Amino acid sequence: MNQNPKNSNIRSYLRSLPTQGQAEWYWAEFSKLKKSNPNTFNMCVDFWKNVLKETSRQGWLGENIICLDTSVQLEEKFQTNGYHPMSLPCVFNELYINAELLPFEEFMTLQNQSWIKWAISKLILNPIQKIINSKISSTKWIIMDLLKEAADGVILHQEKNAIHKITDNLFTMKMLKAEFASVVFPGVILSDDDLKVLITYLEFKQKILVKNEENNIIKFKTKNPLDKENFEITSTDRGITAIRETCQKLHQQIQDLEFRIKEISTKINEYIVRKQKVSAKYCLRQKKNLEQVLSKRLGSLEVVEEILLKIQGAACDSEIIDIYNVGTNALRSIFESAGLTADSVEETIDRLQDVLADQKEIDNAIKLGADSLSDKTIDTDNELEKELEELLADENITKEFQKLQLEFSKIPQLSGNNKDEERELENNKGEKRELENNKGEERELENEEKDLENEEKDLENNKSKERNLENNKNKENNLENNKNKEREQVPMAVC
């Protein structure tokens, strides 16, 4: 027998858990530990809560994701290494007490009562009926964590993709399934039961409004405060929903027609290859009829989509006008609260101009006073400069006079002894003159020696030139001799 791939995924997931080494706790009967060892009991319950949530999220427990179907023999699905979970009824009972698992039928009654009323009836008025520990009853249970996660995903997707609120916030059940069934949990598709539970929860949380008619109309609430005041499904909403539904039907019909035309074209080619002209002609007639229908459907779709575009444009214009009104009211309230009027502004400007004029006069007066003080200061500075120059000149004269006195004091006075000294000085001067004359003669001798050396060099140069001339003459004589010899040899050769 081939093993169910979903069961294989469950077992692989269980084996990958880091707590697998404590299988004797998680797969054993631990319901009695609630009083004796509450920490271990809560740990085991949390373990199975996470297992139920993750395996259901992956779609391994059946076609439902949010709704847990207990008729699928969970004990068999969670069997691993020869262990069967023996305390699943206890886990369900504990999760039910904590409102983390709710029966499908009980949850659907939320449509007719408030959340507070339901909580009071569950926790106070009605005693909790414990699940029979022998086996889990065959029913559907709502995993509340997955439900809340799915609701948040739907709201986030809608806020991101609803560009035109007047049209994009309206759905039928079929349109809602096509839009959200595959985007909430990656890789899985929500079932019809999941969508029913999801719609009930969103309506209960006042995120959507549902009109139970022949075709349920579902309207998402926007963040616009004006829409929150009058949140209802109007006749305009019904008309827009019908137009959107017609658009979807036309798109589907066009896809079907295109697929059929493609199939018939393939058959025509096959009949032509087989030379079955009658069948090919019949298929060709079918193809033309389908193409005519396709053309009509495309024309209808164009008209309907144009109507939708005009509705969206009108709604956009209305929103812009509403924003203008809001902005106008806000601006008016600001003016009123601040007391801003044309007269008050004009009065303020006049007072400001007066103050600025006064300030300018004060600045001019301060500037004139500063200029007059500056002129006086300049005159005083000039006088001080002149006086300082005079003082410096007097000081220089005094210093020159002192220098002259000092030099005069150093001059020796004339006496009889000084005459001898004067004669000695004159003799010394004569000797100096003789030395200077001797030095001049020495310089003349040096110049004469240099002249002689230059003459000798000139003589040597002349001699070298004469030798060069003699060499040249010898070369010329040799050349003449060679030429004469050649002349003498020419007649002999002729003879």
pLDDT in tens, 291-309: 999 999 999 999 999 999 9
Q: Do 265 and 188 form a contact (C-beta atoms < 8 A)? A: no
User: How much of the chain, in percent, has pLDDT values that exceed 70?
Assistant: 76
Could you give the CA distance from residue 150 to residue 183 in angstroms, rounded to a whole number?
9
Name the pTM for this structure: 0.61
Determine whether 45 is exposed, middle or buried from the number of CB atoms within 10 Å of its CB (0-12, 13-18, 19+). buried
Distant-in-sequence contacts of 47-56, Cβ < 8 A, 24+ apart: 47/19, 48/85, 48/87, 48/88, 48/91, 49/91, 49/95, 49/100, 51/13, 51/14, 51/17, 51/78, 52/91, 52/143, 53/143, 53/145, 53/146, 54/13, 55/10, 55/13, 56/143, 56/146
Task: Write the single-letter amino acid at 320.
Answer: I
Name residue 22's beta-bridge partners. none
Could you give the CA distance from residue 274 to residue 280 in angstroms, rounded to a whole number?
10
**What's the token pair of residue 51?**
């297992």
Average pLDDT over residues 177-188: 91
**What's the token pair of residue 410?**
């150093």
Pick from 261, 309, 269: nearest CA to 288: 261
pLDDT in tens, 403-449: 666 665 655 544 445 556 556 666 666 666 776 666 667 777 777 77
- At 75, the pLDDT band (50, 70, 90 cuts) reads confident
pLDDT of 132 > 60? The answer is: no
- At 20, the pLDDT band (50, 70, 90 cuts) reads low
pLDDT of 211 > 90? The answer is: no
Could you give the CA distance from residue 2 to residue 6 in angstroms, rounded to a whole number?
12
Task: Write the single-letter amino acid at 482.
Answer: N
Predicted pLDDT at 259:
96
Task: Write the single-letter amino acid at 11.
Answer: R
